[in-house]
Structure formats: structure tokens, C-alpha cells
């Protein structure tokens, strides 16, 4: 795992954007795996500015997002589809028909998950997957458990994740308790993975990312087995 420590959030965002921009130039029809949450917002802003300046184009890009709350409609203002439209898709020249977010209203989430993974595979696989890290070490919504799922699936959210994400909802009671999420296998199949982490709250998980062990109790540690991971974090996340 390559580790880049940045001075602050802005620098982290620029570093992440640089890596994505390089891929867009090298492979304009690349397949991006995208994350929501607070961490990538600055990077998405950078990318939108680069797009506006004519440095990069998303015209031929296809994207697959990691996860979506369940059950939640795509037009709900806390849905991850809504988040992606607001924070990236509406601000760049991407073809919205080529953007994908797991269906938070799927009647049969298991079938939806299998179809999502099959579609990614048929498209040629994810070239670059963006990830954030939960304070408890989750990646996408693969929460600390004894056993983790390989493919895209329906999952329950831990109380700590519901608490952490309640900042976006009117109250904790409004946060959905379930989500549909890519599994660890879906994520690990990506050709390259860029993990972003900012702020003190991520320090404990960053420490776990640095030792020589993996555990399903800190799902992010499994990324150590991937051949091409770049962890970009700021000093606050690295030093605590």
C-alpha cells in the first residue's frame, strides 16, 4: 500500500483528484467506482473545476457507486444517488445514464446485488475505486463482523455508523438502519483503489491500516491484500 500524507483536507482532495485526472487522460472511457460521505466532497469539487477548465472530461466515463441506504428512494435528499448528482454528476460532463448507484428500493436486494456485480464485470471491471473509511473501519457499508460478504448485498448498519451519519438527517431516528452495499469481493476486484481519510476521528482506523495484520473487525485492513492501493490521508488522520 502506498501512503501519501497531506498537510490538510484540501491537499488530500487535490492529491485524490490528481490520480483520477491522470486515469481520465490515460483511459477516457474508464470505469470509476465512487464513494459518498464527507471525505470525497473536496475531491469531487476539484474534479468539477478541472472539468470546467477543460483539463479532463467525463464524457465517456461509466461509474458505479459503492452503496445506497435501504429502503430509500433515489430522489430523497439523503439518498446517495441525490448526493452524487449534487456533488459530482450535475457538475461535470458525465452521461447520467452511465452512472449507477445500487437500487435502494429493490424488491429483491439479493437479486439486485448479483445483477450489479454482474454488470460491473460485464462492463470490464472497475478501473479505479474511491473509498472512504468509517471511524469503525468499515469500507462501503461492510461493517465490522466475524464474516463479511463477497458480493453486493443488503446489510444492517451498526449503531455507531447510524450515529456518525445522523449528522445529515433531521434526527438519528430518521437514519435508515439498512443499506445495499458492494461486498469486499466487489471492491477487491477493482484494478486500483484510492482510499481517502481526513481528521482525527479516522486516526484509530489509520493505525490499524498500518500494521501487518488484517481483521474482519476492521474491514479496511483487508485492502492490505490488494496489489494497488493508495491511501491518501491528512496529518490529523495520520497523527491523531
Residue positions annotated with a catalytic role:
67, 136, 138, 143
Minimum Å distance from CB 25 to ligand F6R? 25
Answer for the pair 155, 141: CB distance below 8 angstroms, yes or no. yes
Of 29 and 239, the one with the shorter C-beta distance to ligand F6R is 239
Of all residues in the shown chain, the one whose CB is closest to ligand F6R is 132
C-alpha cell at 20: 483520477
Of 38 and 57, the one with the shorter C-beta distance to ligand F6R is 38
N-term to C-term CA, the chain: 20
C-alpha cell at 213: 495484520
Minimum Å distance from CB 38 to ligand F6R? 4
Minimum Å distance from CB 161 to ligand F6R? 7
Is position 102 an interface residue for ligand F6R (rule: CB under 6 A)?
A: no
Residues 26-85 that bind ligand F6R (CB under 6 A): 35-39, 66-67
The Cα–Cα gap between 233 and 1 comes to: 13
Of 9 and 58, the one with the shorter C-beta distance to ligand F6R is 9
Residue 125: left (phi > 0), alpha (psi -120 to 50), or beta? left
Is position 144 an interface residue for ligand F6R (rule: CB under 6 A)?
A: no
Answer for the pair 60, 123: CB distance below 8 angstroms, yes or no. no
Where are the alpha helices (H) located in the chain, listed in sequence order?
9-26, 41-52, 80-87, 109-122, 159-165, 184-188, 203-210, 235-239
Determine phi and psi for 199, rounding to 5 degrees: 95, 155
Is position 16 an interface residue for ligand F6R (rule: CB under 6 A)?
A: no
Is position 140 an interface residue for ligand F6R (rule: CB under 6 A)?
A: yes
Contacts with ligand F6R, 194-223, as mask; x by CB under 6 A: ------------------------------
Would you tell me which residues interact with ligand F6R (CB under 6 A)?
A: 35-39, 66-67, 132-134, 138-141
Amino acid at each position: 500500500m502506498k501512503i501519501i500524507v497531506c498537510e490538510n483536507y484540501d491537499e488530500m482532495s487535490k492529491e485524490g483528484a490528481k490520480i483520477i485526472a491522470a486515469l481520465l487522460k490515460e483511459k477516457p472511457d474508464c470505469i470509476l467506482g465512487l464513494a459518498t460521505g464527507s471525505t470525497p466532497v473536496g475531491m469531487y469539487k476539484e474534479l468539477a473545476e478541472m472539468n470546467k477548465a477543460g483539463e479532463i472530461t467525463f464524457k465517456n466515463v461509466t461509474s458505479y457507486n459503492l452503496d445506497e441506504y435501504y429502503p430509500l428512494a433515489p430522489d430523497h435528499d439523503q439518498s446517495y444517488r441525490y448526493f452524487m448528482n449534487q456533488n459530482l454528476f450535475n457538475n461535470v460532463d458525465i452521461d447520467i445514464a452511465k452512472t449507477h448507484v445500487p437500487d435502494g428500493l429493490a424488491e429483491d436486494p439479493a437479486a439486485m446485488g448479483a445483477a450489479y456485480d454482474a454488470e460491473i464485470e460485464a462492463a470490464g471491471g472497475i478501473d479505479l475505486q474511491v473509498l472512504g473509511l468509517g471511524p469503525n473501519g468499515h469500507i462501503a457499508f461492510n461493517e465490522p463482523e466475524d464474516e463479511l460478504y463477497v458480493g453486493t448485498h443488503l446489510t444492517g448498519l451498526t449503531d455507531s455508523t447510524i450515529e456518525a451519519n445522523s449528522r445529515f438527517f433531521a434526527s438519528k431516528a430518521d437514519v435508515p438502519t439498512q443499506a445495499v452495499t458492494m461486498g469486499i469481493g466487489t471492491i477487491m476486484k477493482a484494478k486500483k483503489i484510492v482510499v481517502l481519510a481526513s481528521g482525527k476521528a479516522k486516526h484509530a482506523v489509520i493505525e490499524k491500516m498500518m500494521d501487518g495484520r488484517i481483521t474482519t473487525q476492521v474491514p479496511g485492513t483487508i485492502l492490505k491484500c490488494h496489489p494497488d492501493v493508495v491511501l491518501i490521508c491528512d496529518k490529523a488522520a495520520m497523527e491523531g
